[in-house]
Structure 1
Amino acid sequence: MDFDPEKLESLVGNLLINAIKYSDENSHIRFNVSELSEEVKPDGLGYSLFPHKRYFQNRLLKLVIEDTGFGISKEDIPLIFNRFSRGTRTDQKHKEGVGIGLLLVKEIVKLLNGNLFISSQPGEGTKVVVLLPITNKATQTEPTKVYAQSAGNEIKNPEFHSPTPISGKELPHLLLIEDNDDVVYYLETVTRKNFQIERAANDLTA
């Protein structure tokens, strides 16, 4: 299918990271990919970020990420895709907000003309369903060197990160000093094509 590897990786990665972040060590996280060739009925899929759209394509890519973690209250579900939202969960281990990872997910789904549904029960877990239309209009190409390098650099050092210059081109350096992984991930996503990113968790290593 036609797809942007960086956007799809960011979409799935952020949803998986969030599922892991809000699950304890005994939880289960499932990621399922399938193809649908029939009209999707939104009933039962959960809360939707966007108005349900009728897809004129015969094929849809369905991504499902389901966990048995802490869950989200019905009141909080519409809020978690807002920037730095903070839910009403009372457990002491997870007082921080969800950062901007889910906001990025929302924007990517919208950009790809897809839809996203979420259902959850506190104490039982959360299920996210992403639907993306499948198209085959683009010319088939090999993975670019830029993407191959970025994929190889996904494991980040929490203290300092200095990737290889893209395609050997000397790009200006950008130092990010931030201890919130969600913020750093978002900033790297929107700047890494134009800068060599260096990361420090605090100014002691700058």
Structure 2
Amino acid sequence: MVASLSGSLALIVGLAVMLLPLLAMELSRPRDSVWGAVVLLLGLTLVTSADRLTGSPMLAVLCGGLLIGRLSLEVLQLRWRVLTPEEQKRLLSVERWQTSLKELAATIARGVATVAATVSTLAAALRRGGGAKPSSGKRWVRTDAEAASNPASDTDAGSLPAAVVSSFAEVDQLLQAASGQAG
């Protein structure tokens, strides 16, 4: 149960850290989304492996979680102290958070609309039979049945019919015959 609770908390914290650049740009740094993904992975592991974590492994997970929490709190305090008093006041205002949440909602809505459009396009392509196939520009003059009944017409006036050979001696003979016809 403790692993499930700490995993759920890690999932929430990881999502918050990943969304930090969207919600509070003043507090975010370039690699925050990577660390948020690592915390999400930790939370996912804790939630899915909760039944196997008992005894000393669970104690190690708890100590690791406390250590991560303490270090995260120190980093957040350091980032808060770096802000100017005006930025701190602005960050605590309700209007600023409403604006950030509206922008986040608009971004999510655009993402969902893009995914929905992509899915509908793919579904339409699958219904058509795999989508439009590129045209090779090749035009068929006759059917395969006509080609099988008249194999002599496959060769052009300047080319030789294809021959099946089984040794290099036959290849040499064909080359000599072809050079004798040309000369």
Q: Same fold (TM over 0.5)?
A: no
User: Looking at CA atoms only, which structure, 1 or 2, has the larger radius of gyration?
Assistant: 2
1 or 2, which has the higher helix percentage?
2
TM-score, normalisation: structure 1: 0.21
TM-score, normalisation: structure 2: 0.23
1 or 2, which has the higher strand percentage?
1
